[in-house]
Amino acid sequence: MFSLAARPIVPPAIGWCESVSLLLTRDAPAEEPQAADDNYQLYVSGEQAARGFAADAKTGDLYVIGGAGPNWGAGDTDWIVRKKAFGSGTWIKDDDFKFGSYSGAQAITANGSGNIYVGGSGSDATSSHWLVRRH
């Protein structure tokens, strides 16, 4: 079992945005401390936020989705998909997508055929858009 958490890595910045990293931990028995399975930070300052987790039943691959940006909520944000291939001990960046100035992956699902669908949003100079990408 895995769990997602965002944790501060430096003192809070001025304003509401804190610098955090995406931390994925394995659940451990109560007497054992949780160990980090992935600690991802795209930007030194800003925020990295996990929004969803899925497993591909066909391949056994694991996925975590979210967004990262130096000023979350105020633009310049990347859509991030992280992947851990079955049997691998390493998480990799599977997708770093940007639509306009803001992009964020907010939902993920997998079907029995091994298709991974990630939904989210992005904003360009004129409006916000609903986006779906297949992996």
Helices assigned H by DSSP within the chain: none
Q: What range defines the domain where residue 74 resides?
A: 2-134
Nearest-angstrom CA–CA distance, 22 and 78: 13
pTM (2 d.p.): 0.73
H helix count then E strand count, the chain: 0, 10
**Do 129 and 116 meet the contact criterion of CB atoms below 8 Å apart?**
no
Which residue's structure tokens are 């895995």?
2
Residuewise pLDDT in 10s, the chain (135 residues): 444 444 333 332 222 233 344 555 555 566 666 667 887 788 777 788 889 999 999 999 999 999 888 876 566 788 999 999 999 989 999 999 988 888 889 999 999 888 999 999 988 888 999 999 998
Nearest-angstrom CA–CA distance, 64 and 17: 22
Q: Report how many domains make up the chain.
A: 1
Amino acid identity at 97: F
